Structure 1
Amino acid sequence: MSETPATESSTAPAATEAAAAAAQRAPRSTDGSARPITPGSQAAAGTYHAQPVSFVRRGTRLQGRRQKAWEDHSDALAVDVPRHIADTSVHPDFVFDAAAEFGRVAPLVVEIGSGLGEAVVNAAKNNPDKDFLAVEVYTPGLAQTIQKIVANGLGNVRVVQANAPEVLGTMLPAGSVSEVWVFFPDPWHKTKHNKRRMVKDTFAPLVARVLAPGGTWRLATDWSTYAEQMLAVGTASADFTNIYDGGRAGADSPLTQARRSGVDCEQSDVPDEVGGWAPRFDGRILTSFENKAHKAGRVIFDLAFRRN
């Protein structure tokens, strides 16, 4: 029995339903009206839906001093980013102008996942000749960073609420950054969640894009399996050279120490003979987060790669 070709009248209801469903999914403006789908919003949709993001949205509500800091100072200290799909997306046509933002030309350091701002604010205070951009998705963390910036009277720090791959992929001009820091990103330590880790093979080209030749990519983590992944990603990239290739191997290796303690991996007496670990970066303040890791007996891993 042959199939009967669908007629226009039979497909119209389905098409109408599909259009209605698409309209429900369309991005909305603050007044509730649908925003047009543009190349920018399509790019953002691809960023958010083509692969897992490395964060899960937590509470964004501000109260007390954080709320006041945000209300009083975000206009001056938070980069105003055009959005489309989500409040952490970046329109691909937007390009950050550091010279205009800071009123000078200076080396730019970008911290991805700045948390409560402890590391970036301390670094900015100790390096007034450099400018710093703190990239974070959580509003409370950004508000607390702003509090610290104001309390220290700093003019060389800005914050931005944005998804890191978009900041590195389009927002920052190519070759405009002297250092990129990724300190203690979410380890997503369960095997089924490893795909959410930020530092993976697709992340290295984004970091390489924004770094000037000779620029430095610094990383730190307190999870041995993530440290091994970070080392593998940097080593495999043709864009980077491990500054400490072969360093801290054998008994001096943090991986050897982690294996012997068994605190976050299977206990083993097999030493790490490869190495490649950097000494602790003395420009990174001991944050409350890192302190908790030390108290839990975790080993800290540092890495440093130079942009070729």
Structure 2
Amino acid sequence: MFKALLLEQDGTDTRARVASVDEALLMPGDVTVAVEYSTLNYKDALAITGRGPVVRRWPMIPGIDFAGVVESSEHPRFHAGDKVLLNGWGVGENHWGGLAQKARVPGDFLIALPASISARDAMAIGTAGYTAMLCVQALERAGIAPDQGEVLVTGANGGVGSFAVAILAGLGYRVIASTGRAEHAERLRALGAAEIIDRQTLSEAGKPLQKERWIGAIDSVGSHTLANVCAGTRYGGAVAACGLAQGMDFPSTVAPFILRGVTLAGIDSVKAPIEKRLSAWERLSRAIDPKMIAAIATEITLAEAIPTASALLDGKVEGRVIVNPDI
């Protein structure tokens, strides 16, 4: 038996509880992992509260991220005792996830935990930091370098945004951070933001082409915000889009792309191939300051994840939430 946060459906309502689960019920996979840490992401919070259609099968153990130690493996890349990491792949949606003491998954979902990162720190970084690094690498592939101009980060107080600000600043970029929470401006400056702008300047319908300002951008918001970001991107610039906090729509025109040669790069962290995952985590192992992780991370129990999920969706949680399934 192992302890897990279990989601069950009662009519149209979602019920979340901490339960003892028989290991024999674990879903198919060729690697069984003793989970040391998981984390609470926005998608996890939607699943736990039932506020979003995240869960595709019931019952479900949520948790789109986890890090731990291999207990048993029939996969050629992994052996008992190996330290591993998982992000995405539909875990916590279609396949039982990481908010539990054990997980069984296909080995192709896993990568080796970088030697310089602990399981706890890996979950403080989580999908948020991993996605931010994928975005930064997309800008680099588009040729965006620190000496070319400013880079905008929208949703800068969120998980992806915060890591994007810190990573870009650490690489020498001048970062403009867009946020709707002016009270957190000092936090963003501490992460490396050189300038703070109000998200309302980007969130309303705007002109298809606007004054050229930033050479690159990382957007986790979508909708009008993404349209305005593209409209304000300089000639030859690039935008990495990874989220839809404002909406899935994209009310724009082709003008920025055919008149200014702007590149719009879509970032998918869920099914990214292993080569991209390994590259992103190798870079993260060098780019993220452990002191920053310690400053932003709060550790909670599986039971505490239930009320914390609601607080997260209500905007009452700051920093990263790490879940220790053994306490």
TM range (shorter): under 0.3
Q: Would you tell me which structure has more helix in proportion to its own residues?
A: 1
Highest CA radius of gyration, 1 or 2? Answer: 1
Q: TM-score normalized by structure 2?
A: 0.24
More RCO (CA 8 Å, sep 6+): 2
Q: TM-score normalized by structure 1?
A: 0.25
